[in-house]
Every structure is written in structure tokens, then in C-alpha cells.
Amino acid sequence: MTRVAFIGLGNMGSGMAANQAKAGREVIAFDLSAEALERAKEHGVKPAAGAAEAVKDADIVITMLPAGQHVRDVYLSAILPNAPRDALLIDCSTIDVDSARTVARDASMQGFRSADAPVSGGTAAASGGTLTFMVGCREQDFAEIEEALKPMAKAIIHAGDSGAGQAAKICNNMLLGISMIGVSEAFTLAESLGLDAQKFYDIASKASGQCWSLTSYCPWPGPVPTAPSNRNYEGGFASAMMLKDLKLAQEAADGVGAPTPLGGAATAIYDDLVAAGHANKDFSYVLQMLRGRG
Ligand code: NAD
């Protein structure tokens, strides 16, 4: 039986680990939260006393942690010193490109195969096993990594070498943050000009303004019934998470000298939204802030 060590059973990791167990794999997990470990037992996940114990006989090691610092710490203190050398190491957290590359280099120097494989899709996709994975790894390791991720995935895409998965994730989310603000500004202006919101939607969704933020995730309540705007912006993708990804994109852009003026402006706008106390609202709530209602 394939043995999976899973480190980080938070909002995302809990569902992902459960799907590994559901696929018939032996899952041994660790989280700093005793409560999270207790809950995981209900889904057939076995708790370990520490990350070192969880990884010691693993075929696959998956991490789903908050940020780069956590991933670097867990790799250096527990995974690299204790996992078998032939274990496949996969980090699914969203972290900075530099940390992803550092961790991959350290792993490779010790003879491990590794990948950065951040995800698109929220907690519902994590529980439902329908996440999209963007994978940074050596070409020759991809098939095995794909097999390891399958119980948690709807799509698995090879983005390139180490760090390319994280690069794809932050570029995509920077574009998403910018486009959501663009759509929200357009609705706000339409309202001020006396244009009916539904009429504006009907026209823009069939004209050149069409984009995912408008037609799949419309920030104005009504036109797209499944969008979080119809549930008082609860659930969905938290503004704090969008801000985290925008900051990662800005950090990466600064590091390579890439011009991202709109990415910078989007970061400042989401910073304001979070500072105004809306960290947990879906990121489409930016519309209400622009309208002066948030
Ligand atoms: P979370 O804060 O709910 O979970 C993180 C878990 O890691 C916590 O349970 C925490 O106790 C645990 N942890 C922290 N340090 C640890 C350590 N040293 N050892 C063991 N466990 C440790 O976060 P989340 O929402 O599950 O997100 C995880 C990652 O996925 C983040 O990088 C996030 O950006 C990314 N992500 C989240 C979403 C989302 O919708 N929540 C979507 C896509 C990507």
C-alpha cells in the first residue's frame, strides 16, 4: 500500500489528506493543531506525534502549510533528515518562488525528487478532490508526481522546472485580482451613470469586457447566481488570501525587475480592504468598497 505523509491539515490540507485516504493509501499526518489531527481520524487519516515520525516510512510526502517560512522549516527540521531518499516530496502550499527553489535545491542535493505544486480552487475543491495543480519539477519526475496528486485533482499541469508552479500561481492570481477590480470599477461607474447593472452585465458579458471575474464570479449580486456576491460575499476566496498572493507577486516582480504597475495598485486596494476589516469576505467584496458601501 502506498504510504503518504501529510503535513498541514488546515482548511485545505484536511480535505486533501482525506482524499488520499479515500483512494486507498495509508495516510500518516501531522499538524501543530491537536484538534485538526483528531478531526482527520474520522477520514481514515492516522495522526503522528511529529512531522519527523510522519515522514519516516513515506513513499510520498505532501505539505500544505501557510507560507514559505513554514515550508522551509518543516523541510529542514523534519522531512530532509527523516524521509526515505526515494520518497517523492511535493509542496502544495502557495509560497514565494525563492523559497520553492531553495527547498527544491536542498532536497535535490540530498538525493530527493521534489515538486512545487500549488493549487487553484478553494476548500470545496480540496474536499471534493477537484483541485487544479500547477507543477514545477523535472520533466522526468512529472508522471510520478501526477500519479501522486490524482486523488486530489481535477487537472494537473506541468508548468516547468522547480518554482514554475509557484510562478504560474502568482501570475494567474495577480491577473485575477486586477480583473476583479476592473469589473468592480466598471459596475461602480455604470451605477453612477444611471445604467442598470443587469443591462450592463448583459452587454459586457457579450462584448470585449467579458472575462472570468465578470461572467463566472460577478461581484454585483444577481447576474451570476452561483457567485459569492449572492451570499453576502461569504465563502469563496478570502480577500486576505488574495492579498497574500498579490504580495507574493509583487515580491517576485521586485526580485526580477518586472514592471507590474496594476499588480502594485491591486495590492494597495486589497490592503485597504483587509485593513477595513473585510479579510474574510470573498475578494469580490472589493466592489462594495469601491461603491463606498464596504
Ligand atoms: P490553514 O491556515 O487553514 O492551514 C495551515 C495548517 O498548517 C494549519 O492547520 C497549521 O496548524 C498547520 N501548520 C503550520 N505550521 C506547521 C508545522 N510546522 N507543522 C505542522 N503543521 C503546521 O491554511 P489553508 O487555507 O489550508 O492554506 C494552506 C495553503 O494553501 C496556503 O499556502 C494557502 O495560501 C494555500 N491555498 C489556500 C486556499 C484556500 O482557499 N484556503 C486556496 C488555494 C491555496
The pocket around ligand 1, CB under 6 angstroms, is made up of: 7-13, 30-33, 36, 51, 64-66, 70, 73-74, 93-94, 119, 122-123, 237, 241, 244
Q: Whose CA is nearest to atom 1 of ligand 1?
A: 10
Distance between start and end Cα atoms, the chain: 52
- Strand, coil or helix: 185: helix
For range 11-21, the mean pLDDT:
96
- Going by pLDDT thresholds of 50, 70 and 90, the confidence category of residue 294 is confident
As a whole number, mean pLDDT of residues 237-242 equals: 94
Ligand 1 centroid to residue 73 C-alpha, Å: 14
Q: What is the pLDDT of residue 266?
A: 98
Banded model confidence at residue 106, pLDDT cuts 50, 70, 90: very high
pLDDT digits (tens, 9 = 90+) for 134-175: 999 999 999 999 999 999 999 999 999 999 999 999 999 999
Ligand 1 atom 25: residue of nearest CA: 11
Distance 86 CA to ligand 1 centre (A): 26
Q: Which atom of ligand 1 is nearest to the CA of 12?
A: 26
State the catalytic residue, choosing from 169, 199, 247, 281. 169
Q: Binning pLDDT at 50, 70 and 90, where does residue 121 land?
A: confident
Ligand 1 atom 20 nearest Cα: 31
Degrees to nearest 5, angle at CA 198 with 195 and 202? 100
Positions of E strands within the chain = 3-7, 26-30, 46-47, 60-63, 88-91, 113-116, 119-120, 131-136, 153-160
Domains of the chain: 3-162 (3.40.50.720), 167-290 (1.10.1040.10)
What pLDDT is recorded for position 122? 83
CA–CA distance, 187 with 190 (Å, rounded to integer): 5
169 is catalytic: yes
The pTM (predicted TM-score) of the whole model is: 0.94
**Which residue's C-alpha comes closest to atom 31 of ligand 1?**
66
By the 8 A CB rule, do 181 and 187 touch? Answer: no
Closest ligand 1 atom to the C-alpha of 94? 32
What 3 state SS string does 1-14 have?
Answer: CCEEEEECCCCCHH
pLDDT on residue 293: 87
Average pLDDT, the chain: 97
Q: Residue 77 above 80 pLDDT?
A: yes
Distance 241 CA to ligand 1 centre (A): 11
The Cβ-side half-sphere exposure at 268, using a 13 Å CA radius, reads: 5
